[in-house]
Chain A
Amino acid sequence: MSLFRSAYIARTFIAIAAVIFLAACSEDDNNGESPTPEETIKTSGFLITGTTSSNNALVRYFEDIPTGTVDLSAGTDFIQFLPTSIYDHYIYLARPDDLPGFSKMAVNSNGELEEVGTIPTVDEGSFRIGIRDANTGVYQDRNTPNIITVFDPTTLETTATIDMTEGLEPTGSESRYQRFIFRDDDIFSPIRPNDNSEGLYSGFYLHQANLATNNYVGSTGVDAPLSGGVLTVNNFGQEQVDTNGDLYVQDGGAVGTGTFARIYKIPAGSDEIDPNYVFEPVRVIAPSNIFYPIITGFKLVAPGKAIARVNTNVPQEVIDLISSFPGSTFEEKVAAFLADDDAIQQALAALFTAETAAWCELDLVAQTVTIIEGAPVLGANAGGLNTFKHNGEVYFPIATQTEQAFYKYTPGTPTATKVFDVTGADLSNGYNIANNN
């Protein structure tokens, strides 16, 4: 090999090595954690959230209540964004990167969401965290389902654990807590089976613990043996205890068995569900809707008054389907329909997608249901369950095939007006970070 060629090869290798070196130097080697934000966080403003077609979340912060049309695609993306509590302007939720545990987040002075702390758990399906006050929060790690962990919301350190092994086990297996409802020192928690494969309990049950003693107190519930499984609901936040101390909590009803979704009342001073208080909003407004009589998004909005999304109608497609079955009475037709698996699947598809629900104001004392006028009907399972308050008005999400928007109304005068439209993602929820829970 000539000297010239040796030099040529050497130069070639040096050139390639230089390219590789320069390329490598351009790499961003900053793989450390982002700095913890200074204590300057936004204490007011709104988070509007949406879902992408990949089921990721987009979250956008607004200093003031939005107007016109807001584009969520300009928001921050997360794998998930499912807050269950906001307290002192901090947002508590299952970790938005989908890792096991919980996050404490805040909106920094630039209007960006930042994680300011985490509570790791062993189980990646742990989802419920609640804040009672500045000193006390609770969560459940579903890998240790018989324990409610009490923690300090400032340090996120565990301060106590509550052993719930004495709690009612309707089917002999452990439960997960769908939400934590605080009434003074007491926590009431609706339960469903911790093992996803076990479906639902045939009834609605709550465990009670006490934060002063950090002990299990008792269980209360209502059996619904013919329900085929009562849906439980895990909405954001609190607003389940009336100003007089009465606690109201909803179940989601059952599918296809005539078990209507129900509001339960645990009267002030009592630890038991009042058996004489039976308020089934769907039965009140649509007694024939035995197939999918569900309500969602139940929240107190004023003394004795609540808002909820109520499935107020049976889709015409389902009525036509059942009418096509043999029988001289509707009951006979229903019996024939229920014997046909394919027809049931067809009906379920229609029930789950038809736009037959409406946001309603519930009078918890008179047990009446009033559809909030001015807002479109929407699907019983449509996106968007969380309502929030601002300047005495209640804001609620509407997600239909043709519209995505937030509407508002004043409790006691159930007529709504549109506040803003949402584009750029499928509308999920809205939160007011000025409000505690």
Chain B
Amino acid sequence: MRSIRNSFERENANGFIVPDEEIIDAKRFHDQHRSSFAELSVDFRELRWADELTVAVSYSDRFDEIQNGQFLLPTAVGEANRSIETISQRIDYRKQLFNRLSLRYFGVLSHTSIISRDSTSSIYNWRGEILTLGGNQLGSEIFPIPTAREGNDLGTAHRLAANYQINKNFKVTLSEFFRYTRIDGNDPLGSRILLEGEEIDPNTIPAKLWRNILGAELTSEFMDEKLTLIAFYKNYYYQAESIDILQNSTSFIPVRDVDESLDGYGLAVKYKFSPALMLRGSYEQAARIPTQTEIFGDFGAIVPNYTLRPETSDNVNLGIRFDQPIGNLEQFSFQLGGFIRNRKNLIRIEPFGTENARFVNEAEVDGRGIEAAISVVPIPKLTLNGNLTYQSNEITSPQLNGSALEGAQVPNIPNLFYNATVSYSFEDLFNKDFDLELFGNYFFTDRYSINEVKDLDTANPDFVIPEQHLVNLGFVASPSVERLKVSFTLRNALNSLIYDNFRIPRPGINYSIKLNYSI
């Protein structure tokens, strides 16, 4: 990482050892990642009671050393780490009945164990050196207090969809999605609730999250399938109940709960002027239920927000799509769309202290924008793709006096970004046993602020993420060894300054090599 602040200690002219800062190019020194994944899957087809049935069990684990929190400080994280182990079973069932009714069920049951370790008496700088002044008074690097939390997550999700073709013009779809999550654990180093003289580890009291989405959809086609109308209704149910594990020194169980039921509905229209040209439009009143990470955090840099509410929105979309070769081109497709998305309780991440972040509800945000995508194949094997988004997410809800920062953009979200990709495939090279695909892509992100500001031209430049230009180059090679693929990516090939949404510098030029072998 280039040009970052680094803490160090020096002896000043008066003979005192004092902390100081320097700007250095730092190499990440506590950033090891290890992961593995294995899956056993059995597929059954054309059984009497199932057209398709897949039963699978998978195991995955990963270990991550943590190098920094949600923000970049002049000190680094040198010891904290996290490991995750998951065993998951899934079942996927499909069946067509009476020619008109099709059923699909998908279910998952998973057990995840997450161990977060953050306990140290040392403070590290970005050179990997231990600072001596005072040691680590907190005893931790990311968490507000030392932790050795072991969490056990039980999750199960079930989706059932039934499609019934009433006649040539009408189809009805019913769907049901249910997800349940239960999280508990223990933390020998964490905070305790003192209840009637007994110390209780709040991690041992389970947190629970229920989510249910019930949907019904009617699809109708007219005018020789040129006109499609879709009307739909959804009910969103969300209930979360948890113990606030961040509470210290409490003498009661700090239960936080949210319970909401919301309705959504919408209407979508598609009209095909020709096989190549389609116009579409829709209106939807939608809801988005917070995810597990948004509510419970990641047991790392993202802290929980147990009272997060669902995000609701009014959405209007209009779009046009053209897909037909023109001139001498092999393929050409173009899409242009516009949207209005006015949201209440927008769920977004914001800083929480110096190391952490959490998801919050921003009261009211008016969004609008356009999206364009183009895909061109000028000659066989050469593909060009491009995408562009221009959007505005304006805060419209005042804070205290009716006008506080009304009109400011929601922080941490860019207004303009686009990308272009080019790829070319060589087939049957070297005695016809070797395929090679070369690719390059370019990403542009316009400047935006990590603070709430009305005008980027007058905003504090220290908190404005400048324009970013990212170029990646690489290839995918398929040599003669069956099922083997080798890919190489040179990321940030121009060594540009690239940032994340909180203005943390991303790596300069770097590369990765991936070997893929399928059994």
Contacts and interface: CB of A to CB of B under 8 A. Distances in A.
A194 B137 contact: yes
A424 B403 contact: yes
Nearest to B444: A23
B133 interface: yes
Interface stretch (A85-93, A119-127, A286-294, A320-328): A119-127
24 contacts: A5-B379, A12-B378, A16-B420, A52-B408, A52-B452, A53-B404, A55-B350, A77-B449, A99-B354, A100-B73, A101-B19, A118-B21, A120-B7, A123-B134, A143-B133, A157-B18, A158-B14, A161-B16, A194-B137, A197-B248, A197-B249, A199-B249, A426-B399, A426-B401
Given A8-B378, A403-B401, A427-B401, 16 more contacts: A16-B440, A23-B444, A28-B466, A52-B405, A55-B350, A55-B351, A76-B460, A79-B463, A100-B354, A122-B133, A124-B73, A158-B12, A158-B14, A196-B144, A198-B249, A424-B403
A404 B18 CA distance: 42
A77 B451 contact: yes
Interface residues of B, number: 75
Nearest to A25: B469
B339 to A, nearest CB: 24
Contacts of A73: 405, 407-408, 453-454
Contacts of A198: 249
A278 interface: no
A184 interface: no
B442 A53 contact: no
Interface string A55-92: 11000000000000000011011110000000000000
A143 B75 CA distance: 13
Contact of A24 (B12, B350, B496): B496
A77 B350 contact: no
Contacts of B496: 24, 27
A244 interface: no
B442 A23 contact: yes
B5 A99 contact: yes
Interface residues of A, number: 69
A54 B401 contact: no
A174 to B, nearest CB: 8
Which 8 interchain pairs have the tightest Cβ spacing?
A143-B134, A197-B248, A144-B134, A52-B452, A77-B451, A124-B354, A158-B16, A426-B400
A120 B453 CA distance: 27
Interface string B346-360: 000011001100000
Interface string B31-63: 000000000000000000000000000000000
Contacts of B407: 73
Interface string A241-270: 000000000000000000000000000000
Given A27-B497, A73-B454, A122 B134 contact: yes
B504 to A, nearest CB: 13
A198 B138 CA distance: 12
B259 interface: no
A201 to B, nearest CB: 13
B137 A31 contact: no
Interface string A133-175: 0000000011111000000000001111100000000000000
By secondary structure, the B interface counts as: loop
Contact of A53 (B18, B21, B362, B458): B362
A29 B2 CA distance: 12
Nearest to B422: A16
A237 B97 CA distance: 79
Contact of A54 (B451, B468, B497): B451
Interface of B: 2-3, 5, 7, 12-14, 16, 18-21, 23, 71, 73-75, 123, 131, 133-137, 144-145, 191, 248-249, 252, 350-351, 354-355, 362-363, 378-379, 382, 395, 397, 399-401, 403-405, 407-408, 411, 420, 422, 424, 440, 442, 444, 449, 451-455, 458-460, 462-463, 466-469, 471, 494, 496-497
A91 to B, nearest CB: 15
A97 interface: yes
A27 B465 CA distance: 12
Given A141-B19, A158-B18, A77 B452 contact: yes
B267 to A, nearest CB: 33
Interface string A26-56: 1111010100000000000000001111111
Contacts of A23: 442, 444, 469
Contact of A404 (B123, B401, B458, B459): B401
A188 B354 CA distance: 29
A202 to B, nearest CB: 13
Contact of B137 (A33, A74, A123): A123
A28 B466 CA distance: 8
Interface in A374-404: 383, 399, 401-404
A9 interface: yes
A222 interface: no
Q: Which of B18, B144, B420, B466 has the most CB of A within 10 A?
A: B18
Interface string A288-306: 0000000000000000000
